[in-house]
Structure 1
Amino acid sequence: MLDNIRFPIGQFEPVQNPTPEQRNKWIQEILVLPKLLRLTVKNLSNEQIYTQYRPGGWTVQQVVHHMADNNMNAFIRFKKALTEDNPIASSYREDLWAELSDYQNTPIEISLNLIESIHSRFVTLLCSLSTYEFQRTFMSPTHGFMNLDVATQRYAWHFRHHLAQIESLKQRMGW
């Protein structure tokens, strides 16, 4: 049961050799997901924002700030992969980042604005890439070598994954 709460849309499963139509679908998801997130958290009270999405999990506030941090890191990974040969992507201790004061004391509006801005730039970048450029790779310390096709899918999945965590919390709590 906890696994369904932790992974409400299931684990990530990449599509190998996606079609241009599939790739465009993921890019369009990346474009609209910030609006869906904003709508999902729009009327939450402070008490609700400080509620854990699952026992032992992050609060809604921590999830939103994590999404912004992850998006910034992913955008940099993409740019490095496009400008360097097989760069090593930096990783970060997301569990420890979630405990830092900015996660606790910064209103989620700041991260919502940041997410919207990053996604806007990211979509502009993704729309300009050729099929060849989507085959460029980087080395992830946690996932190994990954091309930008798979990274695009993972990026969209990761956002949907956290959005679904918040949505399922709201549903379970009757908010």
Structure 2
Amino acid sequence: MTLEELKYPIGKTNIPENITKKNIEDWISILERFPQELEFLIKELSDNQLNTKYRENGWTIRQVIHHCYDSHHNSYTRFKWALTEDKPVIKAYFEERWAELHDSKSAPVFLTIDALKALHSKWVYFLRGLTDAELEKTFIHPTGKEEISLKENICIYAWHCKHHFAHIEELMIREGWK
């Protein structure tokens, strides 16, 4: 596999120009299922396997799992900001530095699986209650200075779930663990 294929096993994010209600329902469904699917995928892995990098110079499976919670928690907050402020400039964070913190490198993954289950349950409930007008609300990412709508962000995070799931699953297949 090429480095690009290892980095982006499902390709890069592709946000449709015309986002339909069906798209949104499908993406929310991915968010809803992700914690349980991730738990099922990694439940039999040993600590040694969890500490295996999915690619050279990449993160370990453990770091990927903890990153998903950190990223999704930040995203949930961004939704709230977009709905309670006018085009807020969100706070970016250094995900690569967060991944090097003690909890990301050594905490039991089931702490994060449980946290993801709770976060995603609340997030999905919240998303299903948004109106069409609310889905059009935007925030501004400070690095790109571009406006991102909430419906686009749902797409981004459905992709994010599948992206990191594929990192783990493809490593497991390559290593003969699955």
- Superposition TM-score tier, normalisation by shorter sequence: over 0.9
* Shift of residue 44, structure 1, vs aligned partner: 0.4
Q: Is the 8 A contact 2:87 2:137 kept in 1?
A: yes
What CA distance in whole angstroms lies between the structure 2 residues aligned with 1:11 and 1:20?
22
What CA distance in whole angstroms lies between the structure 2 residues aligned with 1:99 and 1:28?
31
Q: Which of 142, 163, 166 is the equivalent residue of 2:165? A: 163
Structure 2 unmatched ranges of 5 or more: none
> Aligned partner of 1:54: which letter?
R
Measured against aligned partners, the alpha-carbon deviations of 1:101-152 in whole angstroms (never above 9, x if no partner) come to: 1112210111111111110010001100111110000001234210001000
Partner of 1:92: 93
Confirm or deny that 1:126 pairs with 2:120. no
The answer to which structure, 1 or 2, has the higher relative contact order (CA under 8 A, 6+ apart) is 1
What CA distance in whole angstroms lies between the structure 2 residues aligned with 1:155 and 1:114?
16
TM-score of the two chains, using structure 2 as the length reference:
0.96
Q: Is the 8 A contact 1:65 1:111 kept in 2?
A: yes
Structure 1 unmatched ranges of 5 or more: none
Percent identity over the alignment?
38
Partner of 1:173: 175
SS in structure 1 at match of 2:74:
helix
Partner of 1:76: 77
SS in structure 2 at match of 1:132:
helix
Q: Is the 8 A contact 1:134 1:147 kept in 2?
A: yes
1:35-54 correspondence to structure 2 within 5 Å: 35-54=36-55
1:133-172 correspondence to structure 2 within 5 Å: 133-143=134-144, 144-172=146-174
* Shift of residue 24, structure 1, vs aligned partner: 0.6
SS in structure 1 at match of 2:148:
strand
Partner of 1:18: 19
What CA distance in whole angstroms lies between the structure 1 residues aligned with 2:131 and 2:7?
35
Deviates more, 1:143-152 or 1:159-168: 143-152
SS in structure 1 at match of 2:132:
coil
TM-score of the two chains, using structure 1 as the length reference:
0.97
Q: Is the 8 A contact 1:60 1:166 kept in 2?
A: yes
Partner of 2:60: 59
Q: How many residues of Structure 1 are paired with residues of Structure 2 in the alignment?
A: 175
* Shift of residue 16, structure 1, vs aligned partner: 2.2
* Shift of residue 174, structure 1, vs aligned partner: 0.5
Output the aligned Cα RMSD. 0.8
